[in-house]
Every structure is written in C-alpha cells, then in structure tokens.
Structure 1
Amino acid sequence: MFAHCSTSAPATDLALLKALAAYRDKEIGRASGKVMARHMWYVSEELVGLSLFDEATVVEEKRAIVSAMQQRLGEKNPPRRADVALDAVEQRSLASFATTNSVGLVTALGAGHDFLNVDPAEWSGRDDYTTARRRTRHLRVVNDFAERGVALISAFCGAITRDEEQRQHLLQVVERHRALYPCAK
C-alpha cells in the first residue's frame, strides 16, 4: 500500500480530509474523517515539506510554506502526525502545517537548503533543489495502518490455523502484541 509519488502525499491527504468533511452525508463524512484524521502523517510539521518538491503545488503555496518554515516556531517534540479538527479543515492549507521543524526534511535530503532563501519560481534551475527533488522521488509513501493489516493477514492466514474463530482470536492477539511492542522482531 504505497503511493508512487511521495511529494504529493501531503496535498493528497489534506484534499481527502477536506472531501470527507464536505461529504453530503454528514454522519458518514464525519466518521470517515475522524478515522482519516488519525492518519495524517504526511501533513505533519516535519513531512509537509515534501510538497515543496511536488510539481502540482503552485508557487504561491510554496512561498507560503517557506514563509511558515522560516517564521512559525515548531514544537520541541512535534507530534508524528498532524492534529486536524474536521470542522476547521476547510480553512487549512499545506502552509498551515509548516514550521521551523519542516526544514529538517530538506536537511535530511542532504542537498543543502539554500534554495529556501530564493523565490520558488526560480528553484528549477538550482542544483540543490533539483538534487533534493530527485531524492524525494525515491521515497516510498506507506499507509502504515493498511500495510500492517495486510501483512498481518498474509503472514498468519492459514499458516497456523484453519479454524476461523481461532484465526480471529490469533489476529487480535498479534495486533495487541504489535501495539505493545512496536519494535519487536
């Protein structure tokens, strides 16, 4: 379960959440939006910077993101995913998630971040930007929640038991274990 383009993940996640908030059946939209809001990894203040390398992100939005990266102080220990209130999501933009912590992603790409001091309209001709952009193309965007579920079923389906009731119990035990010990191999 992964997208082919890491740079579009922040915009895609935000657009989906906005669509769910505006869904005509408010009860379904609210329930779906609550679930999606718990998985907003790619609009976190650390990963929203991926959208700077997305060709679909307009220059004005890139300017706003860079401005926020330079001016809005990030938390000392930022949350791993964005906290998005469903009733206020329509007013949110990618830039509203960016903070000084967003520079960390650009730094981690190892190509320098001097391009952030130049207008985004001029980035395409800069080596530091094009190198960083090329590196983002090799990043895999993973839906951890879905991927874990598929892996869990694949690993245990039929391998240990053929009884459906036992299988369901086993899946719950394994899932509980993974929640308690996320780094256990």
Structure 2
Amino acid sequence: MSKNHPREDYEEFSVSPTVLLGGEVQPNPSAVLELSIKPGGWPRPSTASSFNAGKTQLSLTGREKAGVERVALFVALVYCKQWHEASISVKAPLNDVLFLKILKTYPDQTVAKAAEQALRRHLWYVSEENAGLAFFDSRIDVEEKKQMVKALDKPASKKELKRLEGKKMTMSSSLSSFVTSKTRSFFQKLDVDEGFLAKDPPLWEEDDRFKDAQKRALGLRVVNDAAERGIALVQRYLGSTKSAAQEKYLLQLVHHHRKLVGREKKEDLQKKAF
C-alpha cells in the first residue's frame, strides 16, 4: 500500500493473494488478471492466485479448477509470506522451523506434504555455522537465545557435513540444537566483536557491538536470490552481442542503468522525455 515495495518485480505477488482473500489493493489491480506460466514448470506463485481470481475467464475443466484453487489457497495462506521474507538472511532459520509447523497443520495434507518434501531439499544451509544468523532475529524469545549462547560451548560435530540431514529438523526443533562451538566461526567471518554475547539477550539491542554485528548480518546477500536475478539478466541479453567481451560490458551497462533509473515505470520516463 505504501507503493515502496523493496522487490518491485514481486509486487504482484502481494496484490494477487490479497485480492484472492477478499482484500482491497491500490497498486495496479489489473495485474491480478495477468497470466504467465513457464512451459514445463510450475506457474509463478502470483500466477496461481491470478488464475483463481480470473478463472471465470478461462476454459478449465472441473478438475483443473479444483487444482488451481488448492494451489492458490496454499500460496495465499502460507507461501506468500515465506517467499517475501526469503531474502532476509537472519529470518531464515526460524522461518524454516515455523514453515514446518504450518505444513504439519495445514488442512490440505497432499499439498503440504509435497511442499515439505521440497523444503527439506533446501535445509542444507542450516549448519552449525549458519545457525549464527538466528542470533540476530528479534522474533526469537529470550530463553531460546540464552540456550543458544550456552550451546556455543558445545563441541562441534566430529564429521564435516556437506549437507545437513533434513530429517533432523522437525516442527519441534529448537534453534539452539543446531548451535555448537563452530557457530563462533560465523561471527569471525563477519569480523565482529562477539562481546555482546556476555550480556543478557534483552540488553543486546542497546549494545553497539550487537548493532554492528546485526547490520552486517542483515547485509548478507542471499545467494540463491542474487543468483536467480543474475541468471535472469544473462538470459534476457544472451546473444544480443557478437562477442563475450561485448556481452560483459552490456550486462554491466544494464546493471548501472537500472541503478540510475530506479523504479520508474516506462510510461513515467516517456512523459519526462516528451
């Protein structure tokens, strides 16, 4: 509603579920009826909601309509929030635990089990080291953070895991169970003073060392998110030039131009030009 979405290319993903659930929106309501399906793959998340909102305009069988409704409801009620917070690094550990809890109680268990199976393929990052992200999540209660601090003295795993076994994380998993002495390497790589850990968690927010560490943790780029955007950029302009060198310069130019232009729409730029 503020028209200042941090990821403007996913703004439609906020609009569509809102409309689907009976809410009212201001920005570009026509986007709700847009359809965009990638051949051979899943529809974009916003598309599922768009499908349901405009299903009367489509020629679908009864089975197809029912399937679209199931996906649309899951996207609107569960997945939308998870998607939008995926780029916030410090929220990832707790969000995955909460996601598992939601999936266990979601009424449509066929959809929930499929989603859980997919989620467990992406739990590899919840390692002893990356568990350090959770120290900067303000949603985690004081008692849990105290247990996380105590766990920093727990010996690290004897074997180096390339991927965490997804089955070890359950809806009852505590984040402190993933913290060990190896988690301290996370603070070392951030190059921060971990002295704030000696204080009670309620006092961390007032500590300059914590503020600096939190700022650095929040500044971490989520690799998958950045990689997908990079791939989309390359795919869009691949083959537009005659040499690899020209292609590199073109991508740099596009990236620089996007920074200069910001979020202005094409019609707004045309008005300024004429």
Q: Same fold (TM over 0.5)?
A: yes
Give the corresponding residue for 1:84: 166
Distance 1:64 1:151, change over 3 A: same
Aligned CA RMSD, in angstroms, stands at 2.9
* Residue 48 in structure 1 maps to residue 135 in structure 2: no
Cα shift at 1:84: 2.9
CA contact (8 A) 1:13 1:43 kept: no
Q: Distance in 2 between matches of 1:78 and 1:9?
A: 22
Q: Distance in 1 between matches of 2:238 and 2:195?
A: 53
Give the corresponding residue for 2:179: 98
Superposed CA offset, 1:26-81 (max 9, x none): 3332222121111114432211111111222221121121122222x222454344
* Residue 128 in structure 1 maps to residue 209 in structure 2: yes
CA contact (8 A) 1:39 1:81 kept: no
Normalising by the residue count of structure 2, what TM-score does the alignment of the two structures yield?
Answer: 0.49
Which structure 2 residues correspond to residues 60-71 of structure 1 after superposition, within 5 A?
60-71=143-154
Which structure 2 residues correspond to residues 104-183 of structure 1 after superposition, within 5 A?
104-143=185-224, 147-148=227-228, 155-156=234-235
CA contact (8 A) 2:124 2:165 kept: no
Superposed CA offset, 1:101-141 (max 9, x none): 11111121212222223221222232322221121121112
Secondary structure of 1:91's counterpart equals: coil
CA contact (8 A) 1:70 1:99 kept: yes
4+ residue segments displaced more than 3 Å: 1-4, 150-160
Cα shift at 1:153: 6.4
Q: Distance in 2 between matches of 1:38 and 1:7?
A: 20
Bigger radius of gyration among the two: 2
Greater relative contact order structure (CA < 8 Å, 6+ sep): 1
Cα shift at 1:82: 3.2
Please list every run of 5 or more consecutive structure 1 residues that lacks an aligned counterpart in the other structure: 161-185
Q: Distance in 1 between matches of 2:180 and 2:89?
A: 19
Distance 1:157 1:123, change over 3 A: closer
Give the corresponding residue for 1:16: 99
Aligned sequence identity (%): 33
CA contact (8 A) 1:113 1:128 kept: yes
Q: Distance in 2 between matches of 1:25 and 1:123?
A: 41
Distance 1:158 1:106, change over 3 A: closer
CA contact (8 A) 2:98 2:171 kept: no
Please list every run of 5 or more consecutive structure 2 residues that lacks an aligned counterpart in the other structure: 1-82, 240-274
Distance 1:110 1:153, change over 3 A: closer
* Residue 74 in structure 1 maps to residue 156 in structure 2: yes
Normalising by the residue count of structure 1, what TM-score does the alignment of the two structures yield?
Answer: 0.69
Q: Structure 2: which amino acid aligns with 1:48?
A: A
